[in-house]
Amino acid sequence: MCGIIGIVSQNGPIHEELEKGMAAISHRGPDKLGRWFESDGRVGLGHTRLSIIDLATGDQPITDGLRTIVANGEFYDFEAIRSELEKEGFHFKTKSDSEIALHLYKRMGTACLEKLRGEFAFAIWDSQNQTLFAARDRFGIKPLFYTQHKGKLLFASEIKALFAAGVPAIWDEESVLQVCAGLILHQDRSLFKGIRQIPPGHFLLASKNSLKIQPYWDFNYPEQGHTKKPPMEEAVLETRRLLEDAIKLRLRADVEVGCYLSGGLDSCAVLGMANHFSQRPLRAFTLSFGNDSAYDERTIAEEMAKHAGANFEPIPVTDQDIVDNFRESVRHAETVCINPHGVAKFILSKKVHAAGIKTVMTGEGSDEVFAGYPHFRRDLWLYNSEGQDPKALAEALEQLKANNSVSQGVVLPTQESPKSARIKQLLGFVPSFFETNFQMGEKLGMILQPEFGKRMAEREAAFLFLNELDLSRQVLRRDPVNQSLYLWSKLALPGYILTVLGDRMEMAHSLEGRLPFLDHKLVEYVSQLPVSYKIKGLSEKYILKEAAKPYITDTIYKRQKHPFLAPPAAGRDEGPMAEFVRSQMESSSGSRFPFFNEKALAGLNAQLQKIPAAQRGIADPLVMVIVSLNMLQDVFRPGTE
């Protein structure tokens, strides 16, 4: 894992800008800084290296004289591709995985992406054709931002590198409206004007007078009536085989590999399989929130680590830890958070790095593949209820609420929203996660400046999001749960889960995360299976539970999904968290997000002092968005236009 940056200029040399940009993301790769410049000084590529594969010769940029690459991430099974290329006469300068992309591009052009497997973002400058080719992995695990400014095309792993290279920080009003409407940022946007992301599964191709973004991969859920339905036993065995294969590939490293472990099925399945195939016991790192039984999973995780034969290393996190690390976690995320869980992951990564680990296995992505979140079950029971007993359905929905009390208002809606009508017109139903997002948006709208709040109320944020997708080819005529899975994976997966709970928290501490559930061969198989294989009765991720059963404890096998959440910050009566939230809600505290209405914010602050404990979780997303927007203003000081 590394940090990458590049500048293609139509004006003068860009050496100084590139160096400043590299310095801003040196945390992503502290082992070695590398740079390459075109002979005229108008094109530069920079690389900050975290050495994982080929510690001796794998420095970047790598060039063959006509093409030069900088890459962030991992290309798995690269040895087989390298052997194939060597037989065709290609010569390698390093033993790293990154060099295969350079030679594949020479052989196949942009179609080289079909051969690459893993978590990656990379760029190749083609000197012969004066073309920049940049690509991002299929799911958006690795970030890649780009912008055009004063005759320059710039790209980087993080926005702060673009700021350091001279791009001004200005709030993007359209993106701010989208966030304040309750939606997570669309896959190609950022909160800052003119700065975009290459969407997951897309590549950028740029020459002197042209810039194009093209897709190369998508989920491709089957239309209703065209779903493959192999025997359940066969599907379980194939799912197990594919997941085992993905995990074995991700154990390949020239440094020690650790594992993040919670009390959930996903990380437990990864640990169980990984430790089985590892040549030595893995170290399993678990966050512990003390005596808060609704959020602390230490006991369950410790049982799993013992079962797997791994070395269990708990990492306690206190309220004071959250407060002390909040600002830095938001600075690295460069976006908003809805719960302190992102800060907790930031602290976890810091402690794991201090323990001497450079790369960890994580369980992110499983819920998006196997329909794990409770809102997917709600969608099944509400919109695919043919043949179901209405009384049993009502009881199931009530049980769903009771079993997910801590995630009410976070991943499960508490009421319907009038903004849902437009989505129903387009899709024929309303995915439950939209209802939850709208509820937060309605509350945020009440504390915005009147003119800005009016524009937000008039804007159809969800319609604009859906309008940018290929609904006809990828969404409509699919099972409602598959539609929800697809939309969630275009919005929350890259825009939040893989950012606030993934790459940005890990790489803040030079730590590489590996995500076996987002191996595209596994995803392509599971996406074609019937929804009934993923959700069976009250059991979510049914086929994954069966596939992982030989590797996990009985406790995990029988346990329902609990989203990874930290104890809410909202509504505390006393202590460091209460003081922190109060200080951020008061107008006297530091730099203030410019679109807030101070009087309305003060009123909300007063209401929060009286909120019942049972409603803290519902209020927390609102509070966290407010606090993180203030933090972003304080850190980057963006202007408005």
Q: Which helix (H) or strand (E) holds 419?
A: none
Q: How far is CA 607 from CA 30, 387, 628, in A?
A: 45, 45, 19
Decide: helix, strand or coil at residue 337.
Answer: coil
Q: What phi-psi label fits residue 166: left (phi over 0), alpha (psi between -120 and 50 degrees) or beta?
A: left
Decide: helix, strand or coil at residue 595.
Answer: coil
Which residue's structure tokens are 């890649």?
Answer: 144
- Closest alpha carbon to 369 in 555, 259, 533: 533
Decide: helix, strand or coil at residue 213.
Answer: strand
Q: Which two tokens stand for residue 177?
A: 């409206």
Decide: helix, strand or coil at residue 639.
Answer: strand
Q: Which two tokens stand for residue 265?
A: 């099925």
- Strand bridging mode 359-361 / 512-514: parallel
Cβ(548)–Cβ(385) below 8 Å? no
Crossing angle of the two packed helices 432-445 and 374-383, in degrees rounded to 10: 110
Helix (DSSP H) and strand (DSSP E) numbers for the chain: 28, 17
2 is catalytic: yes
The string over 179-196, giving b where at least 16 C-beta atoms fall within 10 Å of a residue's C-beta and e elsewhere, is: bbbbbbbbbbbbbbbebb
Q: How far is CA 520 from CA 232, 249, 544, in A?
A: 21, 13, 16
- Closest alpha carbon to 114 in 87, 137, 142: 137
Q: What phi-psi label fits residue 494: left (phi over 0), alpha (psi between -120 and 50 degrees) or beta?
A: alpha
Report residue 136: phi and psi, to 5°: -125, 150
DSSP state of 321: H
DSSP 97-115: STHHHHHHHHHHGGGGGGG
Catalytic one among 2, 259, 268, 337? 2
DSSP 63-76: E-SSEEEEEEEEET
Cβ(204)–Cβ(198) below 8 Å? yes
Q: Which two tokens stand for residue 635?
A: 């850190």
- Report d(CA 192, CA 636) in Å as an integer: 10
- Closest alpha carbon to 96 in 199, 233, 2: 2
Catalytic site positions: 2
